[in-house]
A and B are shown apart, each in its own frame.
Chain A
Amino acid sequence: EDKVVQSPLSLVVHEGDTVTLNCSYEVTNFRSLLWYKQEKKAPTFLFMLTSSGIEKKSGRLSSILDKKELFSILNITATQTGDSAIYLCAVRGQGAQKLVFGQGTRLTINP
């Protein structure tokens, strides 16, 4: 069965700090790994990664995938209070129609 494990489960930092969120996975016939941000309501899409070693970047957020070691990291630099959210990692495998989610990392940025 496909599995996604995120760490840490919870993280509290001060504004301006840099954080790294981890996602490891086991999936049959890996197709892609996705990161989502969930504030109060709907998860919103951040990145989709399919190739190893290629960094995706959007402003202060960046992510990279290691298909050999079966993990991905999400980096956030110069954190702001608006970055406080639950960050979800998901993988798409052989059953390409579904995403399997990890349990999320709850990130809290204190002013």
Chain B
Amino acid sequence: DTAVSQTPKYLVTQMGNDKSIKCEQNLGHDTMYWYKQDSKKFLKIMFSYNNKELIINETVPNRFSPKSPDKAHLNLHINSLELGDSAVYFCASSLIGGATGELFFGEGSRLTVL
């Protein structure tokens, strides 16, 4: 069983389109995250939810909107895609707000904007 699963794994789309990436974790964790990894492999946090409540919202364009229907799911919707949005997006989860444990990552969703 995959602990943190993301879909789709690959996404190729045109500029201006809207797309979504879904994430689910079956670890019973209470906190989920979206990280963006650029071409230089730099992992940068975008959002974090704890028990469906947004707790971290880094400086991210408001074209990016996360949604957490329950604590096992965190989806990312991106409006009006731009070339600079091309990256690998990683979903992750942790327990007890992440204060004591490591993050478990999904396998990533590679987004290419043409």
Q: Which residues of A contact B (CB under 8 A)?
A: 31, 34, 38, 41-45, 48, 86, 88, 90, 92, 95-101, 103-104, 106
Q: Which of B35, B56, B102, B105 contacts A95 (CB 8 A)?
A: B56
Q: Which residues of B contact A (CB under 8 A)?
A: 4, 31, 33, 35, 40-45, 48, 50, 55-56, 90, 97-99, 101-108
Tell me the dominant secondary structure on chain A's binding face.
strand
Q: B43 near A43 (CB under 8 angstroms)?
A: yes
Q: B50 near A101 (CB under 8 angstroms)?
A: no
Q: Which of A41, A88, A97, A104 contacts B99 (CB 8 A)?
A: A97
Q: B105 near A43 (CB under 8 angstroms)?
A: yes
Q: A103 near B40 (CB under 8 angstroms)?
A: yes
Q: A88 near B108 (CB under 8 angstroms)?
A: no
Q: Which of A97, A100, A103 contacts B41 (CB 8 A)?
A: A103
Q: Closest approach, in angstroms, between the C-beta of B45 and any C-beta of chain A?
A: 5
Q: For residue B101, which residues in chain A have a CB less than 8 angstroms away from its CB?
A: 48
Across the A-B interface, give the 3 residue pairs with the lowest CB-CB distance, nearest first: A42-B105, A96-B99, A101-B43
Q: Closest approach, in angstroms, between the C-beta of A102 and any C-beta of chain B?
A: 8
A-B contacts, 10 of them at CB < 8 A, read: A41-B108, A43-B90, A96-B98, A97-B55, A97-B56, A97-B99, A99-B103, A101-B42, A103-B41, A104-B43
Q: Closest approach, in angstroms, between the C-beta of B96 and any C-beta of chain A?
A: 9
In the assembled complex, the Cα of A86 lies from the Cα of B41 at a distance in Å of: 9
Tell me the nearest residue of chain A to B49, going by C-beta: A97
Q: A48-B101, A104-B43, A106-B41 are in contact. List 4 more A-B contacts (CB 8 A).
A: A34-B102, A41-B107, A42-B107, A86-B41
